[in-house]
Chain A
Amino acid sequence: MNKNTLKVWLIFIGVALAFMLLAAIISFRQIHSDNDRVSGRVVSLDNDSLVIVDARGRETTLVVGEETSFKGDKNEMTPGALIYSYGKKTEDGKFISYGVRIMKKP
């Protein structure tokens, strides 16, 4: 490999690595600043909580309050509906929901 060829490859690899490094930094920053998220089918619901089950049968209790935003028709949130929610997981395994989106009717 002559000197010129080596220079071309070094420039290409350098720029590619710079792209990847910047992408990794931005992605990691986003992952850490983002909310937790959960999705699954509604099993039961009452005024301040919602129990969902994921594809592997694991249940999660979502705590919903007045400040929780709902996207989609709230009346469609009946057992069997598929929902997506973002919020914060708590130590006791519950999920404080900031927003709920109904993805599929029952």
Chain B
Amino acid sequence: MGLVKKNIKVIALLLLFVAVSITLGGIPSDTLISYVGSNNAFILMLVLGTIGGLTTFTGIPYHFILMSFAAGGVNPIGLGLATATGVMMGDSTMFLLSKKVKDSLSPKILDIVNHASVHLSKNPKLITPALILYGTFSPFSNDFIVASMSLMGYSFKRIIIPLAIGNIFFNIGLAYLGLYAYDSMIGFFGG
């Protein structure tokens, strides 16, 4: 009970993110898209990427919309850049929130965070390539990495920029995958 009381702000923030993600997860993507006023594919992907980056558990499967646009003839590089920029904007919110919440953490959690930080600082040169690789190959949300590294005291430039570079590669790759293998991908995921 004491642990819950000490971390009430952190727990409330986590519950808020989970609730927003599950709520957005329950709304069909096309209903969300219909609320976005723009008819420009790049602006649409920027907004969808931002929503995806804001929500902890990828609020909408923007990946398939990105692939569908690329298959339809929209420039894959432009689509990848617009989506990655949106995701970066969403991740920046998580970075700032984590910075703010640090003061509310209990000493026990801070101890774990500091402990992990010490281990990471043993190989500082590996952090940037590791983040670029994660951004390039992982289809999952960046939020856990952004939040934990922000709590460890790493700067915006150190976390968000490498992840954004990785996300640019990931989303351009995804757009090309859509261009050449959209039907196979949809078939594979049973969509």
Q: Which residue from chain B places its CB closest to the CB of A102 in the assembled complex?
A: B39
Is B71 a contact of A23 with CB atoms below 8 Å? no
Within 24-60 of B, Cβ neighbours of A (below 8 Å) are at: 25, 28-30, 33-34, 39-41, 44, 56-58, 60
| CB <8 Å contact, B68 and A34 | no
Which chain A residues lie closer than 8 Å to B58 at the CB level? 23, 26-27
CB–CB A39/B119 < 8 A = no
B74 x A103 contact (CB < 8 A): yes
Min CB–CB distance A35 → chain B (angstroms): 6
- Cross-chain contact A19 with B144 (CB below 8 angstroms): yes
Given A31-B191, A38-B68, A103-B41, are A15 and B144 also a contact pair (CB < 8 Å)? yes
> In the complex, which of the residues B30, B41, B60, B71 contacts A86, with contact meaning CB atoms closer than 8 Å?
B30
Q: How large is the interface on A (under 10, 10 to 19, 20 to 34, 35 or more residues)?
A: 35 or more
B54-84 with Cβ < 8 A to chain A: 56-58, 60-61, 64-65, 68-74
Contacts of B39 in A (CB 8 A): 71-72, 101-104
Contact (Cβ within 8 A) A55 B34: no
Count residues on chain B whose CB falls below 8 Å from chain A CBs.
42
B41 touching A30 by the CB < 8 A rule? no
Closest chain-B Cβ to A42's Cβ sits at a distance in Å of: 11
Report yes or no: A12 in contact with B72, Cβ–Cβ below 8 A.
no
Which A positions have Cβ atoms within 8 angstroms of B? 4-5, 8-9, 11-12, 15-16, 19-20, 22-24, 26-41, 52, 54-56, 69, 71-72, 82-84, 86, 98-99, 101-104
